[in-house]
Structure 1
Amino acid sequence: MTFYNCACYYTNNIFLEEYKLHVQFIDEEQFRQEYEQKLRENGCDTNEKLDHVLQTILSEVSRRKNANKDLIRRKEIIKDLYKPCHPAIYTLKQQYLHPKFLEIWHVCKNPHVKLKDVMNLLSCEAANQVYSFPVFTEEFCEVFIQEIEHFEKSECPKGRPNTMNNYGVLLNELGFDEDFITPLREIYLRRITAILYPDWGGDCLDSHKAFVVTYKLGHDINLSYHYDNSEVTLNVALGKQFTGSELYFGDMKSNSGKVSTSEFTRYDHKLGVGLLHRGQHMHGASPLTSGERYNIIIWMRSSEIRNELCPMCNKRPTLVPCSGFGDGFTTGKMVELCATL
């Protein structure tokens, strides 16, 4: 199966960190008409500052246009030069998975399983349809962080995890996709999401984007309020020791307006525990106050859902060729894959 990006990737959802604003950029005239007044009200009050914003946007647009070939180039360099610290962990084994996670998975494999049977095994957070459960053992989390730190210290090129996180690792570039993340999604996670999110493509999650995000003082310390480019997201805390940086959830994107901080539902990270939520569920991360935080994020996508409506531009997607899973769009429905559950 061939996957695609939507053309909106090159124009929409460009994040201006300084002004906590996502913008669309078709051309300078459109941009000035739509955003200049708002930017000036938010502190971009000189022509020099506005010119800097425009240069930042043009740089990001250029990065996106070259992202596909840059990704291929980085993967080739990493494959040739990088020597893994723990090569065994690049292939998923059941011993890496927490016994509680395997228990949930076994229950979900039952063709007659009911939602209530699964709910009895989960921690249901106060936010609607947000669930938490152990995913990895503490031993695996420790070894996995060692591998990530080993790679971070290498001289290999590294891509940004996404447009909002500046620090972390794209796991497909490092070589974790084929034998670790893909079987984790196809064999294990999709059994669970099929029960919990049937209306969000939970039974047909046929692609993903997986990455590690890192937070520490002097680097990224928080994450602005946003939604994910996914149907379902899994966020697993790997460690280390830190304070602050709790997640907070608001409303769904379609219902989201002005939300006061008192209306947020907050969640503290726990080692090895994953938080499962809908991609369109608005959320963010409060500032880290000490230490370092590592999390693995898996944006899981259903082409059957997103082929009808791109979650980023809210239009029927205009398909653009790319490598790998792209943003999870296809030219048709994945009927055979869905039928295997």
Structure 2
Amino acid sequence: MKNEVEETPKFYVCNCFTTDNIFVEDYKLHVRYVSEQQFRLDYETVLRRLGCLTDQQFEDVHNKICQEVARRRRLGVTSAERAAVIKDTYQPLHPHVYHLQESHLAPEFKQMVEYCRSSGASAEGLLELLEEEAAPRVYRFPVFEKSFCEELLEELEHFEQSSAPKGRPNTMNHYGILLNELGFDEDFITPLREQYLHPVTSLLYPDCGGRCLNSQKAFVVKYDMNEDLDLSYHYDNAEVTLNVSLGKDFTDGNLYFGDMRQVPLSESECTEVEHRVTEGLLHRGQHMHGALPISSGQRWNLIIWMRASQERNKLCPMCNQRPSLVEGEGFADGFTKESASLLNSLCVLT
């Protein structure tokens, strides 16, 4: 039984969510928007240089940004409304995939976790059980059995084809599914993070919240020849990210990693990393990365942004300031009002 210290805290969003890191897709640019005057002063020259040459083009960009700001302001309410409708109306094709089972997991992954739970576990010992990519501190390992990936994809396609309401995963991915709205958080994603990923991240990323992960945002993104082909260079709103390739058949579309977001782009060199079905890539959320275009087929990826409130309560990873908290739904963006001493007591290997 959990004691009082281990009870789930209330989670919040930083107020910068409605102003910062708004992606202007046509020009591959992230912007901050507080007012039209501020936006013109900060970005009009930059946008002109990128090809936004006419007043009408600039106005089109401005209108899209205003629409995105309005969407973000309503997001908590609209997401909760969608989740309620889905729960009441959607009939799952494979109900068992919503509940994490050991049989879903690859033997190599279970071996890694068993080692991490052992008394003599160390980062050096763990590194012998997984594959480190050329990009620093990016690790690859099998996560799921192929049969489970196939059934999960069948379920996701069944939902995609249904009349149930759907939200986009984030600003940059137009096609995909928010797994909390579909009902995956409680019995699948949260146990996966707490019981299996936390022992691994505790050894690999103790310096950036890996021992203190206490919430997540999980979603699936889809790349298709007639939809999104690639993903621009970016960093995640997370302390640690797991990206699992679920399938299907596709060619190209590798990921590429640069440096941490604090390093100027001009000083960063990118390393290409192959994405293999059933395998996950584990990396720091602030590690700049992107996805190259697929050249055929269709690819689905499961993304889990794992968050440590002890880290982000001190400095919001999106605006680089002390977070200004706004109430949110569910795990929100992983911020809490818990004291540092309480959060430190939770940073133990379980």
TM-score range relative to shorter protein: over 0.9
- Structure 1: tracts of 5 or more residues without a match: none
Aligned pairs (5 A) from 1:69-218: 69-218=77-226
Q: Secondary structure at the match of 2:266?
A: coil
Q: Does 1:22 align with 2:26?
A: no
Given that 2:211 and 2:349 are in contact with CA atoms closer than 8 Å, whether structure 1 keeps it comes out as no
Equivalent in the alignment of 1:287: 293
Return the offset for 1:105: 0.2
Tell me which amino acid in the other structure corresponds to 2:217: K
Aligned pairs (5 A) from 1:313-328: 313-328=319-334
Return the offset for 1:256: 3.2
Distance 2:74 2:224 in 1: 29
Q: Secondary structure at the match of 1:44?
A: coil
Tell me which amino acid in the other structure corresponds to 1:283: H
Q: Does 1:245 align with 2:280?
A: no
Normalised to the residue count of structure 2, the TM-score between the two structures is 0.95
Extract structure 1 runs of 4+ deviating beyond 4 A: none
Equivalent in the alignment of 2:242: 234
Aligned pairs (5 A) from 1:217-228: 217-228=225-236
Distance 2:18 2:163 in 1: 29
Distance 1:140 1:257 in 2: 39
State the number of aligned residues: 339
Distance 2:49 2:125 in 1: 52
Return the offset for 1:281: 0.3
Given that 1:250 and 1:259 are in contact with CA atoms closer than 8 Å, whether structure 2 keeps it comes out as no
Distance 2:154 2:313 in 1: 38
Q: Secondary structure at the match of 2:262?
A: helix
Equivalent in the alignment of 1:300: 306
- Aligned CA RMSD, in angstroms, stands at 1.0
Distance 1:331 1:340 in 2: 22
Distance 1:56 1:278 in 2: 30
Q: Secondary structure at the match of 1:339?
A: coil
* Per-residue CA distance 1:251-304 (angstroms, 9 max, x = gap): 1111132257xx311111111100000000000001111000001000000000
Distance 2:349 2:24 in 1: 42
Given that 2:216 and 2:304 are in contact with CA atoms closer than 8 Å, whether structure 1 keeps it comes out as yes
Equivalent in the alignment of 1:32: 40
Distance 1:22 1:335 in 2: 34
Given that 2:202 and 2:349 are in contact with CA atoms closer than 8 Å, whether structure 1 keeps it comes out as no
* Per-residue CA distance 1:67-114 (angstroms, 9 max, x = gap): 010001000110011000000111100000000000000000013211
Equivalent in the alignment of 1:256: 264
Q: Does 1:267 align with 2:273?
A: yes
* Per-residue CA distance 1:217-264 (angstroms, 9 max, x = gap): 12100000000000000000000000111000001111132257xx31
Tell me which amino acid in the other structure corresponds to 2:51: G
Distance 2:211 2:47 in 1: 42
Distance 1:207 1:256 in 2: 29
Given that 1:226 and 1:282 are in contact with CA atoms closer than 8 Å, whether structure 2 keeps it comes out as yes
Tell me which amino acid in the other structure corresponds to 1:193: T
Tell me which amino acid in the other structure corresponds to 2:287: H
- Structure 2: tracts of 5 or more residues without a match: 1-8
Tell me which amino acid in the other structure corresponds to 1:41: R
Given that 2:142 and 2:278 are in contact with CA atoms closer than 8 Å, whether structure 1 keeps it comes out as yes
Distance 1:271 1:56 in 2: 35
* Per-residue CA distance 1:99-135 (angstroms, 9 max, x = gap): 0000000000013211111000010100100000000
